[in-house]
Amino acid sequence: MTSPRPDPRHDRPAAPGTGRCPATALYGPHLDGDAMPGLYEELRLRHGPVAPVTLAPGIDAWLVLGHRELLRLTREEQDFSHDPRRWTLLREGRVPADSPILPMVGWRPALLFADGQQHRRMRAAVSDALSRINGHELRRTVRATAERLISTFAERGEADLVPHFARKLPMEVITRLLGLDERTGQRLVHAIAGTVGANADSANASRRMGEILGQLIEDKRRTPGNDVTSALLGHPARLTDEEVLHNLVVMFVAGNQTTVNWIATTLRILLTDPAFRSSLTGGHLTVDDALDLVLWRFPPTQNFPARYATRDLSFGGQDIRAGDMLVLGLAAANADPAVLPGDGRPVIGNRSHLAFGAGPHACPAQDPARLITRTAVDTVRHRLPDMELSVSEHELAWVKSPWSKGLAALPVRFAEPQLPATPPASGSPPPVHHPPMPQPAQHQGETR
Residue ranges that bind ligand HEM, judged by CB under 6 A: 74, 111-112, 123, 126, 174, 250-251, 254-255, 258-259, 262, 295, 300-301, 304, 330, 355-357, 361-365, 368-369
CB of 26 to ligand HEM, least distance (A): 17
Burial class of residue 104 (count of CB atoms within 10 Å of its CB; 0-12, 13-18, 19+): middle
Bridge partners of 240? none
* Residue 159, H or E segment: strand 158-160
Residue 34 or 76: the one with the smaller Cβ distance to ligand HEM is 76
Residue 74 or 401: the one with the smaller Cβ distance to ligand HEM is 74
CB of 391 to ligand HEM, least distance (A): 26
What number of CA atoms fall less than 13 Å from residue 239's CA on the CB side?
31
Tell me which DSSP letter residue 133 carries: B
Whole-angstrom distance, CA of residue 226 vs CA of residue 134:
10
CB of 246 to ligand HEM, least distance (A): 11
Sequence-separated (6 or more) residues with CB below 8 Å from residue 250? 108, 110, 111, 112
Torsion, Cα 426 429 431 434, to 10 degrees, reads: 150
Residue 12 or 443: the one with the smaller Cβ distance to ligand HEM is 443
Residue type at 198?
A: A
Bridge partners of 12? 7
Whole-angstrom distance, CA of residue 422 vs CA of residue 1:
62
Residue 276 or 304: the one with the smaller Cβ distance to ligand HEM is 304
Residue 24 or 259: the one with the smaller Cβ distance to ligand HEM is 259
**What counts of helices (H) and strands (E) characterise the chain?**
15, 13
Residue 304 or 308: the one with the smaller Cβ distance to ligand HEM is 304
Of 112, 176, 24, the residue nearest 304 (C-alpha)? 112
Strands laid side by side in the 80-81 sheet: 24-25, 50-56, 59-64, 325-328, 304-309, 80-81
CB of 355 to ligand HEM, least distance (A): 4
Residue 185 or 368: the one with the smaller Cβ distance to ligand HEM is 368
Whole-angstrom distance, CA of residue 412 vs CA of residue 43:
36
Residue 114 or 159: the one with the smaller Cβ distance to ligand HEM is 114
Q: Does the CA dihedral 219-225-227-233 come out positive or negative? A: positive
Residue 15 or 260: the one with the smaller Cβ distance to ligand HEM is 260
